Amino acid sequence: MILTDTHTHLYYQDDDVKRADLVRRCIDNDVKRLFLPNVDAASVAQVFRLVNEYPGMCYPMLGMHPCSVKEGWEEELAVIRDSKKDNTIYAIGEIGIDLYWDKTTLGIQVQAFKQQIAWAKALKLPIVIHCRAAFDEVFQVLEEENDDDLHGIFHCFTGDAEQAQRAIDLGFYLGIGGVVTYKNAGLDKILPQFDLSHIVLETDSPYLSPVPHRGKPNESSYLIYIAQKVAELYQTDIATVADITTANSKKIFGV
C-alpha cells in the first residue's frame, strides 16, 4: 500500500534528527510519496534540501503563496521562477487567493495568481490552489483562464457540493486533509456525493492535524488517519483509498 501526501510543508522542520524522524514515521505508515509546495523565495532552498535528502519520495513544487504577495511581489516571484532553472518541478503551487487575513491585497493577489497560471501552462504543469475565504474570486480567475492546459488540485478543499462540482468541472481534483475528520466540518456529507476518482489526500503539515491529533502539530505520517476516515465515508478499505488516490496523484503530477 502506498499513500501519497499531495501537500506537505514537512521541510519547515529544520532539525536534522527530527526531520529524519518525521520521514521514518511516514514510511512506517505507508506514506511514501510527499509533494512539497514552497510559499515564498526563502522556502525554496528548504524544499530542495528535503528533495535531495529523499529522492524518489519527495517531489518539489514552486509558487508564491497568496499571503506572501506584498508590495514588490514581482521581484520575489522572479527569484522563485529563477530557481526552476536547474531543478525539475511537478506543479506550480501553492498559489491562489486568501482574503481571510487581508482583503486589501486582492488586486495584486489576482495578478500574481494569473501570472503563475500562465507559467504553469507554459510548462505544461498542474497548479495547486490555495483558496481561503475567496471561492468566488478564485473561480472567477479560473473561469477566465480556463482551457485544456488548466488543471490541478484544489488544496484543502472545504467548500460545499456545488463548489466541489464546479472545481471538478474545471479540471481540478479535491485535496482532502485533516478537516474531513472534524465532526462539524460537513465534508463527511459532501464527499460521498463524488467519486473517489476526483479526490487526492493531503496533510498540509504542520497545519490542520486530523483527529486524534487535532490541535497539535501535524505531520505527513498522520495521512493514515485521513485515509481511514475517507475509507469509512466511502464504505471501502484503506488499501482501495490508497490505490485510487495515489493513482490520481500520478495522473496530476506525471510521476
Identify whether the C-beta of residue 29 lies closer than 8 Å to the C-beta of residue 17.
Answer: no
pLDDT in tens, 147-159: 999 999 999 999 9
H helices of 54-190, where? 73-82, 106-123, 135-145, 161-169, 187-190
190 φ, ψ (degrees, to nearest 5): -85, -45
CATH class of 3-253: alpha beta
Cβ count near 12 (within 10 Å): 15
pLDDT in tens, 213-255: 999 999 999 999 999 999 999 999 999 999 999 999 999 999 9
State the burial class of residue 179 (Cβ atoms within 10 Å of its Cβ: 0-12, 13-18, 19+): middle
Average pLDDT, stretch 83-100? 96
CA 186 to chain centre: 20
pLDDT score, position 86: 87
Domain assignments of the chain as residue spans, ordered by start: 3-253
pTM, entire model: 0.97
Average pLDDT, stretch 99-122? 97
What is the average pLDDT value for the chain, to the nearest integer?
97
Q: What's the CA gap between 38 and 142, in Å, rounded? A: 21
Bridge partners (DSSP) of residue 113 are: none
